[in-house]
Amino acid sequence: MDANTFREFAKEAVDYVANYLENVRECDVLPSIEPGYLCDLLPKTMPETPEHWKDVLKDMERVIKPGLTHWMSPHMHAYYRCGASYPSIVGDLLCNGINVIGLSWIASPACTELEVVVMDWLAKFLKLPEEFLHSHEGPGGGIIQGSASESILVALMAAREQAVKHWKQKHPEMSESDIRGKLVSYSSDQSNSCVEKAGVLGAVTMRLLPANDEFILTGEILEKAVLKDLEQGLIPLICIATLGTTGTCAYDDIPSLGAVCQKYNIWLHVDAAYAGSAFALEEFSHLRNGLELVESLNFNMHKFLMVNFDCAGMWLKDANKVVDSFNVDPIYLKHKYEGQNKMPDFRHWQIPLGRRFRALKVWVTFRTIGAEGLRAYIRKHIDLAKRFENFVLSDSRFEMVANRSLGLVCFRPKGDNLRTTELLNQLTERKQIYLIQAKRGNLHFLRFCICGMDPQEEDVDFAWKEIQSQLDVVLEKEFLNGVKNDVDIISQKFSKDVYINGTAPISEKSK
């Protein structure tokens, strides 16, 4: 393929993507296929000779599209939203076309330096403490990781290595293996599953502490667990708090957690993957309380800030703690500017060696949308969630499970858990909208999150009508099943009574 053919192919591909996004509302959110469908549509080996790119693009429609769950659809209400915008798509195209690997500053200075710039832009936009800025004279700064999962794992492993070093100096009689075996970490039972996974990958015990009745982890809960572990000779390592929990978008009590962590020399990391966007809004300024006590935090730009996946911001108050933990410096990565400039080598701040030029799509997005546009976009999602909340509150057959939080509404039909599950099954089977189920204790409920690339009021109205109509179906089935059960009970009782009176059992026809 030469440059001219590439131009032709790429223009057709851009048209395909634009048409897809413009018409995504017309697609069922969930696919109607069975596992293994694609393997039956494609040959078992790659083609020996080149195929025309037009045939490849045709197979996007024939092979790929039928198996898509449409995350960009405004009828997708499961999980948390996956951000996207046309500028971000263009930024990713430029990133892929230039195709640098930013494993060091010299490998592509623009890759490193643009990331420093946009991460400071974002820190100021979110009004983070100045210690998290590269431009601050301290050792802090921000980096673009792939996801919240990576950010949390980096924080845990850096905290682990710092703790081992500290305890080895404090107790030289202890071996490293002894110290590592005593490390224990903390989080809420409402935290994302990636927190528990980080404990597994980092070989550190992760205690998921029960949140309070409002789904919040507090300093009081943490301190009780810490004191119990200290009594058993264990070493508290890190607390991973959440702002915007997966189940209900609850906010852990950062000020009280921070006080406890400082008291017991525990690393405090905040996972603000979803709710961190609200830092930018003055009406949510209370969510920034206590961030000055935090050692590190992460926020997913690919949720609210219109940047395509994958793009997670992570900030460190003292990046040297991570660099000291991860630094491996072979001779082939050295260059003459090392130590002569203030630019970081981000390979020391992350798990992989290589890194994509993600800052490019962030830069393109922020420049073409602007801070004002981003704030308006976040508020729009909040307003749409309020609209859905009002629908729930206006129908006496439903109840709220938790307070609405940003773009998330947690609700359920009144009644037992089976009714909630049956409603979800009905909605999923029809594929018009997509929700998921969650639970708190023994109570099952549904999560409705404002998602899609460009959600509108009519999309919320459509979803609510779909939910109401399918609850009607569920309630009708319950009624008919109840009638049938009553008839069966009466019939069985009548048959038994006739038999007891010395008469032959009545026939099915007579029943």
- What's the half-sphere exposure (Cβ side, CA atoms, 13 Å) at 317? 14
232 contacts 392 by C-beta, under 8 angstroms:
no
β-bridge partners, 411: 400, 446
DSSP state of 123: H
Q: 443-449 and 408-413: which strand pairing?
A: antiparallel
Helix, strand, coil share (%) of the chain residues, nearest 5: 50, 15, 35
Which residue among the candidates 192, 298, 300, 308 is catalytic per the annotation? 192
372 contacts 361 by C-beta, under 8 angstroms:
no
User: How far is the C-alpha of 503 from the C-alpha of 471, rounded, in Å?
Assistant: 45
Instruction: Tell me the chain's radius of gyration from C-alpha atoms.
Output: 28
Dihedral in degrees, nearest 10, Cα atoms 186, 448, 392, 456: 140
β-bridge partners, 298: 271, 314
The answer to whether residue 298 is catalytic is no
User: How far is the C-alpha of 25 from the C-alpha of 432, rounded, in Å?
Assistant: 9
Backbone angles phi, psi at 430, to 5 degrees: -80, -25
Q: Which residues are catalytic?
A: 192
